[in-house]
Amino acid sequence: MVDKPVRVAIYARVSTQEQAVEGTSLDYQADQLSAYCQAQGWTITGKYVDPGYSGKDDERPALKQILTDAKSRLFDKIVIYKLDRLARKLRLLLDIEEKLKEHGVSLHSVRETLDTSTAIGRTVFQMLGLVSEWERETIIERTKAGRLQRYKEGCWGPGSPPFGYDYDRDKTKKLIINEDEARVIRRIYDEYSKGKSMTQVANMLNEEKIPPRNPKKGKGWRNTSIRDVLFNPVYKGTQIVNIYQKHSRLPEEIPESAIKIEVPPIVDKALWNIAQERRKNNKHLQPPRSEHWLLQGLITCGLCGYTFSTGFTHNRREYGCRGRLKYTHIDGSPRCTSPRLDAEWLEQEIWQRIEGIINDPNKLDKLLKETVDSLKNREADLNARIKPIDDRLAEIASQKTRLAEEWVQSSISSTRLQEIKRDLDQEEARLRSIRTEIDPAQLEELEQIRGLLRFWNGQLGALSWNTETEDGRMVRTIDKPHKIASTIIGFEDKELTSILSFPATKREVLDLLQVRVIAFIDRVEVKAIFPIKPIDCQLLRSDCRSGRCPPSR
The answer to whether residues 393 and 425 touch, using CB atoms and an 8 Å cutoff, is no
Angle, to 10 degrees, between the axis of helix 440-459 and the axis of helix 361-408? 150
Q: Which of 15, 34, 54, 117 is catalytic?
A: 15
Element (H, E) at 154: none
Q: What count of other Cβ atoms lies within 10 Å of the Cβ of residue 14?
A: 22
Asked whether 8 and 79 are in contact (CB, 8 A), the reply is: yes
Give the separation between CA 328 and CA 336, rounded to whole angstroms: 10
β-strand 7-14 against 43-51: which pairing, if any? parallel
Non-local (6+) Cβ contacts of 20 within 8 A are none
Distance CA 206, CA 256 (A): 38
Q: Helix 414-437 and helix 361-408: axis angle, to 10°?
A: 170
Q: How far is CA 126 from CA 13, 60, 95, 122, 352, in A?
A: 20, 22, 11, 6, 58
What are residue 417's phi and psi, to 5 degrees?
-60, -45
Question: Do 43 and 401 contact (CB within 8 A), yes or no?
Answer: yes
Name the residue type at position 80: I
Q: How far apart are CA 267 and CA 189, in angstroms?
A: 8
Start-to-end C-alpha separation, the chain: 83
Counts for the chain of helices (H) and strands (E), in that order = 14, 18
Q: Cβ(301)–Cβ(284) under 8 Å?
A: no
**Phi, psi at 484, each rounded to 5°:** -85, 130
Crossing angle of helices 119-152/90-102, nearest 10°? 150
**Residues 485, 355: Cα–Cα separation, whole Å:** 18
Q: What is the DSSP string of 305-366?
A: -PBEEEEEETTEEEEEEGGGSGGGGTTSPPPP-PPPEEHHHHHHHHHHHHHHHHT-HHHHHH
15 is catalytic: yes
Name the phi and psi angles at 313, rounded to 5: -135, 115
Distances (CA, A) of 546 to 304, 405, 480, 522, 541: 28, 85, 46, 19, 11
* Catalytic (active-site) positions: 15
